[in-house]
A and B are shown apart, each in its own frame.
Chain A
Amino acid sequence: MSLKQVFTKEEIERSITRISHEIIENNKGVKELVVVGIRTRGYVLAERIAKGINNLYGTRLDVGALDITFYRDDLSAISEQPVIHNTEIDFDIENKNIVLVDDVLYTGRTIRCALDALIDFGRPRTIQLAVLIDRGHRELPIRADYVGKNIPTSQKELVQVKFQEIDNEDSVTIEETQDDKEENSKMGS
């Protein structure tokens, strides 16, 4: 088993700043813009992106947290017991431009759940996807609008994102596992 760092603290910070700029550029400003992160690390990233935009434009964007456990279609396939967090979206998403945020984009199934969950809250004008790492191996027709870094991986590998707020450090590492079957790096994080 080998551990390889692929993204440093500085690189993470630079990506977040760049993504913040791209979001503004793409949306031609911050009008009707809200940020929603998928629990747990997607939410941390969402807060950082919102802070990035707020620092640039002096805004105070609404940030929401989404727990998608009850929307998963693979609950029974996951060997580990799911950890359930609360969803906290205290604002109206009707006609908003939502930036949906997660740390790693992999099969796309988490995002599929998140889209279902979001749409249960109302009808946003757009949903855009921002991720720190896109590691490939999509199983659904889903792509990200904003990507920190594309990292080609094999399905044997485990991509782990760590954030200061939860893990006391900022880093992205790739770990080689013995398991050839897709190890689910997302659940129970």
Chain B
Amino acid sequence: MKIWIKSGTVVDPVKGTSKKSDVIIERGKVAEILPPGVFKGERGKFREIDASGKLIVPGLVDMHTHLREPGYEYKETVATGGMAGVAGGFTALACMPNTMPPNDCRSVTEFILEQAKRADRCRIYPVAAITVGQKGERLTEFGDLKEAGAVALSDDGWPVTSSELMRRALEYAHYHGMAIISHSEDRSLSEGGAMHEGSVSTRIGLPGIPAASEEIMVYRDICLARLTGCPVHIAHVSTAGSVELIRRAKEEGLSVTAETAPHYFSMDHRAVVGYDTRTKVNPPLRTPEDVEAIKAGLAEGVIDAIATDHAPHSSLEKDLEFERAAFGMIGLETALPLTLELVRGKTLSLPDAIKKLTWNPASILGVPGGSLTIGSVADLAIIDPECEYVLREEDIQSKSKNSPFIGKALKGRNDLTIVGGRIVWERKT
């Protein structure tokens, strides 16, 4: 079925424009982008979608998702995570390797891709482990993993503690053209911590994770990028100090890229008061000053991408004492409204905000997508930027419901998602 999207505002993150247009989709591709009223299609031959007042954007690309399959299917699967993704406007998800077993070999990568084919919802790009078993001891077979379909490498959840091993990983991954995504954390400083170390942790008596535990490893990774001349991507940046280190690295001309997650610019450590385990995340929610620095880093282009770090956990991991609860919150279905908040708050222009959710992460991963031009694959989302609602648990598509934004008022929502020219999600009104 051909699709005719009428009178929406097409956001082109690459050109930095937003223009009122009709979009015609044929044979899985964007056939035309025209000013409204120009296209005269034959009635009945098109699925017509009225997009007036809405945004038409390239499908969002999440470069940092946890789909939990294989091994933790009770938290999320490729199918349920994919559904959560398309509900949130994502058409591609890069899934982290901390599954059980971890994605450290061809068979696991192929299994994930097989499950993605079965689910047939959105594009899934497996991120494989840097080290066997994510143990930080020896490298996985990068070449074989790439052939199997892995797009990048990360020991996410665990830092690569050995600087020597990280150096060799950067060098070897560069040879294979794969991005290394670094989970930058000095565990000797963060071990036992449950939230950001600061005035709030002192007040409510929770063991702290200092900002330095992140910054030390960010700096190490920058030094290794300088030493090797190879690119490194810093995952989930949460502190002002990390932003400053990455800013200087970029000024120096090093190939360092970075992402942050929506919760790091939407919430701060005061949200933990009351011991709500849904606010427990690693790195932890930081101070209001850090939140401002993250926003500034996004505005100045120091932080290239917004990734969800979607981390589904069931009540088994979350209905516990705060210190015993698992780290992580889901994010696929809230990333869009939280990012649009940055546009409303004048931190980012609309095309820039969309770019950080599309073109930039796709470029860092080296995967297609992230733009909306004639001839490109029709992966796109239609967003209602003005829709105001209170997030309800029953509306969440993810198998897990561990979001501190449940019950909060949000603005902006994905209405319809198209992957490869096929409508894979349509919000029932």
- Do A and B form a real pair? no
